[in-house]
């Protein structure tokens, strides 16, 4: 024989049901608008180009400065393209991720460049 639920237990059950998405509680969240893959392609290509230059910039190598300079230009171009995309799609997670990664590599390039 089952014992009746206390008032506190009944409230916990109702709260769990409301949060499970099975009819109670909040309305389902709207999906974030995603940028079309073709919109991201130029920014991704600039990012990949920057990575290629960054990988070539081995410390102490003859081409380190040139490679870091080229990587810096590519990452800046990527960030400029992403800035335009963020105006169209302000809350796109893919744009935010690529922006974060490009910013980190740009910062690393700037730190490694000699004055």
Identify the burial level of 67 via C-beta atoms within 10 angstroms of its C-beta, where 0-12 means exposed, 13-18 middle and 19 or more buried: buried
Whether 66 and 97 have beta carbons less than 8 Å apart is answered as no
Containing domain of residue 103, as a range? 37-112
pTM for the structure as a whole: 0.67
pLDDT tens readout for residues 61-115? 899 999 999 999 999 999 999 999 988 888 888 999 999 999 999 999 999 986 5
Q: Would you say residue 25 lies in a domain?
A: no
What pLDDT is stored for residue 2 in this prediction? 60
Separation CA 91–CA 51 (nearest Å): 25
Q: Would you say residue 32 lies in a domain?
A: no
Whether 14 and 64 have beta carbons less than 8 Å apart is answered as no
Instruction: Give residue 34's pLDDT band: very low, low, confident or very high (50, 70, 90).
Output: low
Question: Which residue did the predictor score with more confidence, 32 or 98?
Answer: 98
* Tally of domains in the chain: 1
């Amino acid at each position: 024989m089952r014992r009746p639920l206390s008032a506190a237990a009944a409230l916990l059950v109702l709260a769990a049901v409301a949060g499970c998405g099975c009819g109670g509680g909040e309305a389902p969240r709207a999906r974030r608008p995603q940028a079309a893959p073709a919109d991201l392609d130029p920014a991704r290509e600039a990012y990949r180009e920057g990575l290629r230059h960054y990988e070539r910039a081995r410390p102490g190598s003859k081409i380190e400065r040139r490679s870091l300079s080229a990587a810096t230009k590519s990452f800046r171009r990527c960030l400029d393209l992403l800035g335009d995309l963020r105006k169209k799609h302000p809350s796109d997670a893919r744009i935010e991720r690529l922006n974060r990664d490009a910013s980190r590599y740009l910062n690393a390039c700037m730190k490694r460049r000699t004055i």
